[in-house]
Amino acid sequence: MEDAGCAQFYTAGGIQDKSTFVKSLETEARRVDLERATGSSHNAAPRNVGSLEGLAAAYLEKELPFFTKRAMAQLRLAGDRFCRISWEGLTHKFSGTDACQVCNLESPDTLTHLITECAVFTAQRSRLLGRATLSVEQLAVVLQLEEPTGLLKFLRTALRLRLCAMSEGAIF
């Protein structure tokens, strides 16, 4: 309770001002959650830095199709160690412990790598996202956009090409 700055509202007889106590506790809990999320090694791109104020991500407030909101949520929650993206009826798996099978440059096979730097998708990235490569900071900005059309077009193209590249030589 002392860490949350709530000790001042607590007396030997109980809580003096319950609403102020609850508000202070809520604010501190959000601050700690945000601090832990931004410091997490799960994903290098923080998802919603406005969550401290209780704000939803901008794309959730827009009139977008459900599949768009679902895809954005999956992108924003994808981890660098392992993630699964369901897209157009297929499940695409990424594992940071494996090397990217598409570019064969020994980069980790992560969704972040695919979106930001995988050499095979440079042309698509330039055309749809405006840059040949993206930094992690630029990825965080792209994930915050209210209109994610370019990102979703890139992802659709990249996932299809990745599936083809990984299926090459497979027996169907």
pLDDT in tens, 127-139: 998 889 888 888 8
Q: Tell me, yes or no, whether 172 lies in a domain.
A: no
| Cα 171 off chain centre by | 34
83 is in which domain, residue-wise? 62-167
Q: For the whole prediction, is pTM greater than 0.75?
A: no
Answer yes or no: is 2 within a domain.
Answer: no
Q: Clarify whether residues 74 and 47 are in a common domain.
A: no
Same domain, 17 and 94: no
Specify whether 48 is located in the same domain as 70.
Answer: no
Same domain, 70 and 152: yes
Please tell me whether residues 82 and 36 are part of one structural domain: no
Q: Answer whether residue 1 is part of any domain.
A: no
Looking at the chain, the whole-number percentage of residues with pLDDT higher than 90 is 17
3-state secondary structure the chain: CCCCCCHHHEECCEECCHHHHHHHHHHHHHHHHHHHHHCCCCCCCCCCHHHHHCCCCHHHHCCCCHHHHHHHHHHHHCCCCEEEEEECCEEEEEEEEEECCCCCCCCEECHHHHHHCCHHHHHHHHHHHCCCCCCHHHHHHHHHCCCCHHHHHHHHHHHHHHHHHHHCCCCC
Condensed to tens digits (0 to 9), the pLDDT of residues 112-166 reads 899 999 999 999 999 998 889 888 888 878 877 767 888 899 999 999 988 888 8
Number of domains in the chain: 2
Instruction: Give dist(CA 71, CA 57) in Å, integer.
Output: 13
Whether 128 and 109 map to the same domain: the answer is yes
